[in-house]
Amino acid sequence: EVLRIDPQNKEISWFIKKNEQSQKYGREAYENYERGYLSYKNGNFKEAVSYFKSSILANPNFKEPHYYLALSYYQIGDLDNSIFQWEEVIRIDSFDNTAKHFL
């Protein structure tokens, strides 16, 4: 209803998208992914690893946590786990060219 009244409202659109993602992947998985993403963006890669792993435990087929977990492992020098996570990204989405590039 609010979007129908004000379709340009970015805050409402953001909230609706966030809610849809939470429903699609599961609340626990999505919330841990968001926490991990913020940690990653702030350069806290070890903390990000923990959140992304929790997200994956809650929903192993949620691609984005695998993607950022691979990047986080790379940043801390854990190349074996980084490679494994890129392979998981490709398992979930065989058309993901970014993951193929990193492998």
**Within a domain: residue 79?**
yes
Q: Residue 20 domain-assigned?
A: no
In a domain, 73, yes or no: yes
Give how many domains the chain has, as a whole number.
Answer: 1
Q: What's the average pLDDT block by block, 10 residues per block, for the chain (103 residues)?
A: 58 73 88 97 98 98 98 98 98 95 90
Asked whether residue 56 is assigned to any structural domain, the reply reads yes
Could you tell me the pTM of the whole model? 0.84
| pLDDT of amino acid 3 | 47
Q: Which domain holds residue 88?
A: 29-102
* CATH code where residue 91 lies: 1.25.40.10
In a domain, 88, yes or no: yes
Query: Has residue 50 been placed in a domain?
Result: yes
Provide DSSP, the chain.
-HHHH-TT-HHHHHHHHHHHHHHHH-HHHHHHHHHHHHHHHTT-HHHHHHHHHHHHHH-TT-HHHHHHHHHHHHHTT-HHHHHHHHHHHHHH-TT-HHHHHH-
